[in-house]
Every structure is written in structure tokens, then in C-alpha cells.
Amino acid sequence: MARGNLADEQWSVLQPLLPKRRWGGRPSGPRRQLIDGIRFRIRTGVPSRGVPVEYGPWGRICTRRWSDQPGSS
């Protein structure tokens, strides 16, 4: 676990609050990795393409949106 990433206890609290995955479409990849990547970018202020590859593709981190509204991603 890299410094600044969510601890197991923190993840166990956050995970149930995330929206459920919908059937269909492409899988988004590991959610914990995505959340850690978003947190890294916010914490350090690096440009989108400066996010380390350990957090996944930079485009996924920078364009991910969640909503509880039907039909939105």
C-alpha cells in the first residue's frame, strides 16, 4: 500500500456507500484503485497525465463520474 492510500478499515467504511455496479457496459476496473488514484490527484495537484500508472489509466481517473440518477454514469 502506497503512502496516502486508503487503509483496509477506511475502505470497508467507504465501499458500501459507492453506487452499485450496473449490468451491461464495460467493467470499470478495481474501485479501490480508482478511488486511491482520484485521492492522489487531489492531494498532490498533479496534472491528469501525471497520475502514476499504479492507479490505472489516467483517463479513467480524470473522467469518472458517479450519480444516483438512472441513465447517468
Lowest mean pLDDT among 18-22, 25-29, 51-55: 25-29
pLDDT tens-place string over residues 27-49: 656 888 888 988 898 889 998 88
Number of structural domains (the chain) is 1
Is 1 within a domain? no
Length of the chain in residues, anyone? 73
Is 10 within a domain? no
Is 15 within a domain? no
pLDDT tens-place string over residues 56-71: 888 888 776 655 555 5
Is 9 within a domain? no
Is 2 within a domain? no
Is 11 within a domain? no
Range of the domain at 46: 28-65
Is 71 within a domain? no
Is 14 within a domain? no
